[in-house]
Amino acid sequence: MTNAPPSSVKLPAVVGLALAVGALIALSWWMGQQAYHWLPVQASTAAPLVDGLFSFETALGTFVFGGVSAVMLWVIVMHRADKYDESDAVPIEGNTKLEVIWTVIPLVIVMGIAVYAMRVGETLGSVGPMEHIHLAQPAEDQGGYPGDRLPAEQIEVVARQWSWEFRYPGAKVSSTELHLAVDQPVTFRLVSEDVIHGFYIPAFRLKQDVIPGRAINFNLTPTREGRYRLRDSQFSGTWFAANQADVVVESLDTYQQWLKQSASQPLQAGISDAVQQYEDRKKLKSPGWATVVPAPPPQVNVPGSNTLPHDA
Amino acid sequence: MSIQNPLGHFVNGQGLWLTAVALSGVSSIMGAVNFVTTILRMRAPGMGFFRMPIFCWTALAAQSLQLIGLPALTGGAVMLLMDLTFGTSFYEPEGGGDPVLYQHFFWFYSHPAVYVIILPVFGIFSELFPVYSRKPLFGYVYVAVASFLIVGLGLVVWVHHIFPSGVAQWMRNFFMFSTMLIAVPTGVKVFAWLGTIWRGKLRLTTPMLFCLGGLFNFVFAGVTGIMLATVPVDIHVSNTYFVVGHFHYVIYGAAVMGIFAAIYHWFPKFTGRMPYEGLGKVHFLLTFVGANLNFLPMHPLGLMGMPRRVSSYDPEFAFWNVLASLGAFLLGVSIIPYLLNMLSSWVRGEKAPANPWNAIGLEWLLPSPPAEDNFGENVPTVIARPYGYGTGLPLVENQQSYEQALQEA
């Protein structure tokens, strides 16, 4: 060939490196696509945005991790000392140009990710402000959260040790199963009666701690009908793991019908697995250490269920 | 932690625990004063800062973090003890306190605490890769300075642990950017280690295997760390098993493996006996496979939404949990060859020469184990940087006289 590269750059090495980088890029892209399958179903407007960001980070992470691992593997295979070779290697002490390169490139990459993530955060915020915090009113500190002072469309979420109670002040309904209308933006008012709890619905990709002494407004829009889990995500004591509830997303018609029917139901004990487990434990021969006593099951119109199969 | 006291006794478990935290906080602050003073004041003659081994740099960095961070945790623990025992209301909303304040005190120290653990392990990697690659540490000055960039940044990232808590949007964004920046000095170190082993003459001894495995796990933890730093992803996976998986890759995958590397590397110096290579390699293999089998499944669990700190879980999480448990058993088993190796080597291992790995460093100019007052009156003067592998240059003045003394001994 007339335009062969100078002998210092070996053509097979360049081609080999290019092939390896190409393969790594392909692998990274594939992992980015796989990442969507590691997450629960997407059931809110936030979910596709969060998943897109996670997929992007998975692809980028695969490239970095794969690249470093490949270099390590290459060195382990190719640059091992021969048996009985006691000699030292060529003493390369460093290279300022390389140091600049591997400082600037990661800096640009992580700042790029952060800007992307901040934009996603803003979009989540425009879907509905992620949070609005104000101090609880003195009247609320007395222990009651009078529903008539809430905007009718808000749903009040009361977290306790250890049960979840959902109040629909407009419809005068309370429940231990959260019902939402699909594609309808909803605002929650999150309050805790004791310690910090976490309001976490994995299918929605959203989470907000519920802080005693504060009322936190929290917005989201469900996008897929189904039955999902709400889990307490902030350790709250002995029966923390049992502090779960079901979230039912249904069509607007079904939802409004549910509200209407529920309003006529008499108040009854809601779901509290913690109370059940506490009673079971008391019957044991040696019930163990004293624990915080679970709050009695909230009196609600609809207990609902938390044993039916759920989508996520 | 909480201020609930179900026993109702004045002396109770939480109170004892908080007293212990406060006491160990005070003792660790004193320990940090000791380390920092020793490194600043008691270096060998000629050992300027840029002739110091990286392990000393990272120990200095880690202990500086202790000095700055621990007072916040210690004070926070004392305040919680007061709330619990004497009815103050630092954190009690009814009395005008705020429980989120405790989270700030806790994480202001407890994020840097991870760097307190991992920085000396970075030091171990920086010491050992040159020995077993027979090359100088790549970019010594950059690696040294990066430790202190990590200290500075490590102090302003704590809110990333409480993104879903009661914190404002601007804080989420600020702490996301500061957390991302930490990747840069950390990356400088990782690339420096790759540069060190590149074109080296690798010896895959037990300590080297633990270093390579630790580096592999650490890079994986770095990738998931970037994911956790981005607010929208963190909102989903915070307080789930994803976080548990991430920090076990840091703490077990990187830090514990680095510490094992250090134990095997300095065992002959400590005890005067050589550890067995065969058992060491079995230990490495079981640890590496066990750690990955234990901690990798935690990531899918977290992504699926399994909260951490639970005593039971929904059936859909069983598959990955069973895999993780198998890995945990394997990790338990991995300790057997390790203990066997340490005990039997110490009792009846081959006698160790002064410098079995042909390493450069002051400790390797002493017999194994060193005498009580190591160099006594005859303290060497350091004349070079610590990793002169392949240069043929001496580390200290009259190095031959020290080597000769060792041979005669």
Residue A306's pLDDT band, with cuts at 50, 70 and 90, is confident
Between CA B401 and CA B119 the distance in angstroms is: 35
Q: Does A87 touch chain B (CB under 8 A)?
A: yes
- Shortest alpha-carbon distance between residue A37 and chain B (Å): 10
Between CA A28 and CA A116 the distance in angstroms is: 19
B98/A114 touch (CB, cutoff 8 Å), yes or no: no
Nearest to A243 by CA among A198, A293, A283: A198
Backbone angles phi, psi at A204, to 5 degrees: -90, -10
B188/A118 touch (CB, cutoff 8 Å), yes or no: no
Which residues of chain A lie closer than 8 angstroms to B303, CB-CB? 38-39, 54
Between CA B269 and CA B259 the distance in angstroms is: 15
The minimal CB distance from B202 to the residues A81, A87, A206 is found for A81
Q: Does A208 touch chain B (CB under 8 A)?
A: yes
Between CA B266 and CA B363 the distance in angstroms is: 10
> What mean pLDDT, rounded, does chain A reach?
88
Q: Which amino acid is at B300?
A: P
Which residues of chain A lie closer than 8 angstroms to B6, CB-CB? 289-293
Q: Does B389 touch chain A (CB under 8 A)?
A: yes
Mean pLDDT calculated for residue range A211-239: 93
A79/B200 touch (CB, cutoff 8 Å), yes or no: yes
Element (H, E) at B146: helix B140-154
B201/A89 touch (CB, cutoff 8 Å), yes or no: yes
Between CA A265 and CA B60 the distance in angstroms is: 67
Identify the three-state secondary structure at position A159: strand
pLDDT at B168 (0 to 100): 82
Mutate to test the interface with B, among A34, A51, A71, A75 (most CBs of B within 10 A): A75
Parse chain A into domains and list their residue ranges: 14-74+100-127, 149-280+294-300
Write down the CATH superfamily of domain A149-280+294-300: Cupredoxins -  blue copper proteins (2.60.40.420)
Nearest to B250 by CA among B223, B283, B287, B279: B223
- Shortest alpha-carbon distance between residue B30 and chain A (Å): 32
By C-alpha distance, the chain A residue nearest B2 is: A195
B236/A207 touch (CB, cutoff 8 Å), yes or no: yes
Buried b / exposed e over A27-63, threshold 16 CB at 10 Å, is ebeebbeebeeebbebbbbbbebbbbbbbbbbbbbbb
Residue B9's pLDDT band, with cuts at 50, 70 and 90, is confident
| Cβ contact B67:B37 at 8 Å | no
Cα angle B99, B105, B106; round to 5: 90
Q: Does A211 touch chain B (CB under 8 A)?
A: yes
A81/B6 touch (CB, cutoff 8 Å), yes or no: no
Q: What is the pLDDT of residues A39-92, one digit of tens each?
A: 999 999 999 999 999 999 999 999 999 999 999 999 999 999 988 888 999 999
The CA distances from residue B282 to A75, B265, B359, in Å, are 22, 16, 24
What is residue B252's DSSP assignment?
I
Which residues of chain B lie closer than 8 angstroms to A72, CB-CB? 194, 197, 212, 215-216
A61/B4 touch (CB, cutoff 8 Å), yes or no: no
Nearest to B128 by CA among B396, B360, B367, B284: B360
A79/B313 touch (CB, cutoff 8 Å), yes or no: no
By C-alpha distance, the chain A residue nearest B103 is: A196
Q: Specify the length of chain B in residues.
A: 409
Q: Which amino acid is at B100?
A: V
B230/A211 touch (CB, cutoff 8 Å), yes or no: no
Identify the three-state secondary structure at position A218: strand
Q: Which amino acid is at A124?
A: L
Cα angle B169, B173, B176; round to 5: 135
Q: Does B166 touch chain A (CB under 8 A)?
A: yes
User: CA dihedral in degrees (B287, A80, A14, B188; nearest 10)?
Assistant: 60
B183/A106 touch (CB, cutoff 8 Å), yes or no: yes
Q: What is the pLDDT of residues A114-126, one digit of tens each?
A: 999 999 988 886 5
Mean pLDDT calculated for residue range B154-177: 91
The minimal CB distance from A110 to the residues B142, B183, B191 is found for B183
Between CA B248 and CA B324 the distance in angstroms is: 12
For residue A228, list its beta bridge partners: A247
Which residues neighbour B315 within 8 Å (Cβ) at sequence distance 6 or greater? none
pLDDT at A126 (0 to 100): 57
Residue that is written with structure tokens 């009690």 in the block: B92
Which residues of chain A lie closer than 8 angstroms to B216, CB-CB? 68-69, 72
Nearest to B163 by CA among B99, B237, B215: B237
> What mean pLDDT, rounded, does chain B reach?
95
Mean pLDDT calculated for residue range B256-260: 98
Q: What is the pLDDT of residues B356-400, one digit of tens each?
A: 999 999 999 999 999 999 998 899 999 999 999 999 999 999 999
Q: Which amino acid is at B12?
A: N
- The least confident of A92-96, A158-162, A240-244 is A92-96
| Cβ contact B36:B64 at 8 Å | yes
Q: Residue B157 has which token pair?
A: 């990232």
The minimal CB distance from A196 to the residues B99, B230, B300 is found for B99
- Pairing verdict, β A197-201 and A206-210: antiparallel
Share of chain A above pLDDT 90, in %: 76
By C-alpha distance, the chain B residue nearest A238 is: B311
Between CA B140 and CA B189 the distance in angstroms is: 9
Q: What is the pLDDT of residues A128-151, one digit of tens each?
A: 444 445 444 444 444 344 444 456
The minimal CB distance from A57 to the residues B140, B190, B227 is found for B227
By C-alpha distance, the chain A residue nearest B299 is: A38
A192 has a pLDDT exceeding 80: yes
Between CA B374 and CA B362 the distance in angstroms is: 10
Nearest to B172 by CA among B185, B184, B161, B183: B161
- The least confident of A141-155, A259-273, B317-331 is A141-155
pLDDT at A144 (0 to 100): 41
Between CA B216 and CA B210 the distance in angstroms is: 10
Touching B: A residues 133-172, CB under 8 Å? 133, 136, 141
B230/A86 touch (CB, cutoff 8 Å), yes or no: no
Touching A: B residues 314-343, CB under 8 Å? 314
Between CA A301 and CA A172 the distance in angstroms is: 9
Element (H, E) at B86: helix B54-86
Q: Residue A278 has which token pair?
A: 């506490």
B178 has a pLDDT exceeding 90: yes
The minimal CB distance from A121 to the residues B166, B172, B212 is found for B172
Torsion A231-A233-A236-A240 (CA) sign: positive
pLDDT at A8 (0 to 100): 63
The minimal CB distance from A61 to the residues B176, B197, B226 is found for B226
Q: Does A98 touch chain B (CB under 8 A)?
A: yes
Note whether ipTM > 0.90 here: yes
pLDDT at A152 (0 to 100): 59
Mutate to test the interface with B, among A68, A87, A96 (most CBs of B within 10 A): A68
Residue A97's pLDDT band, with cuts at 50, 70 and 90, is very high
Backbone angles phi, psi at B393, to 5 degrees: -90, 145
| Cβ contact A216:B166 at 8 Å | yes
Q: How many CB atoms lie within 10 A of CB A311?
A: 15
| Cβ contact A57:A113 at 8 Å | yes
Touching B: A residues 236-265, CB under 8 Å? 237, 240-242
Q: Does A49 touch chain B (CB under 8 A)?
A: yes
Share of chain B above pLDDT 90, in %: 90
Q: Does A232 touch chain B (CB under 8 A)?
A: yes
pLDDT at A2 (0 to 100): 46
Which residues of chain B lie closer than 8 angstroms to A139, CB-CB? none
